[in-house]
Amino acid sequence: MATIIEDGTGKGFNVKVDGENRLFSRSITETEFENAVRKGLAFNVNTKFLPITTAGPTDGHALLYIKNNEDRDIILAAWFIGTDLGTNGADLGLMQVFFNPTGGTIISGGTAVAAVNRQGGSSNTIDLDALSGGDSFTATGLGEPVLYQTQSVGSRAFGTVQLSLKKGASAVVTYIPNGAETAGVDIYTGFQLYISETED
């Protein structure tokens, strides 16, 4: 007895099988990030340019702080950095990302950063604290960095990172210049991020 595979939505479509009993199918594959963009659940967070004019704290200038207030995980899909100006173009500063700082002036006195939806026209928002710091802003209680990236002046870096923040978890981006930036450097950093729909 032959088995007939029909469309489960009730529209009556059958599948195609050729003379060699090969079942034909067509699929669309997308990443979780692409799916989140399509559903209006993906966002960009960007400090825009922050001027750095001093060597700064030992642990680095705290540039960006993000804390997840969503019930779902927030996935940091990609990290980007850009620098401009500066006189020490041959030197490499150090960018780092740490989970769960316990304090610092970026948390107590940072400037709110907008999370921009990556789907034009979407009214969806994301519940997170996003704060920018800058020159001499601090982050305390840092452990080992989860990301570690050298950065020269007058350059841009971008890469996928796939970090996850549970509800209440946070991350901070810091920058340590290679020596004092005698003429100053402008630097920005941020993340492409999305709200995960995957169940634990």
pLDDT, tens digit, 9 for 90 and up, residues 96-115: 999 999 999 999 999 999 99
- Amino acid letter at 66? I
User: If you average pLDDT over residues 66-77, what whole number do you get?
Assistant: 98
Looking at mean pLDDT, say which of 56-65, 151-160, 161-170 comes out highest: 161-170
Distances (CA, A) of 111 to 48, 107, 152: 12, 9, 25
**pLDDT at residue 180 in the model:** 52
- Token digits for 65? 């702080």
Assign residue 141 a region (left: φ > 0; alpha: ψ between -120 and 50; beta: otherwise). left
Q: Percent of the chain, pLDDT > 90?
A: 64
- Amino acid letter at 165? L
Spell out the domain ranges in the chain. Answer: 32-195
pTM of the model: 0.86
- List the alpha helices (DSSP H) in 27-162: 32-38, 105-109
Residue 182's pLDDT band, with cuts at 50, 70 and 90, is low
**pLDDT at residue 120 in the model:** 96
User: If you average pLDDT over residues 123-150, what whole number do you get?
Assistant: 96
**Number of residues assigned to the chain:** 200
User: If you average pLDDT over residues 161-167, what whole number do you get?
Assistant: 97
Judged by average pLDDT, the poorest of 90-94, 138-142, 152-156 is: 90-94
Distance CA 131, CA 136 (A): 15
Q: Match 């209440």 to its residue by tokens.
A: 168
pLDDT digits (tens, 9 = 90+) for 3-60: 677 777 777 788 888 888 888 887 888 899 999 999 999 999 999 999 988 888 889 9
Assigned architecture for domain 32-195: Sandwich (2.60)
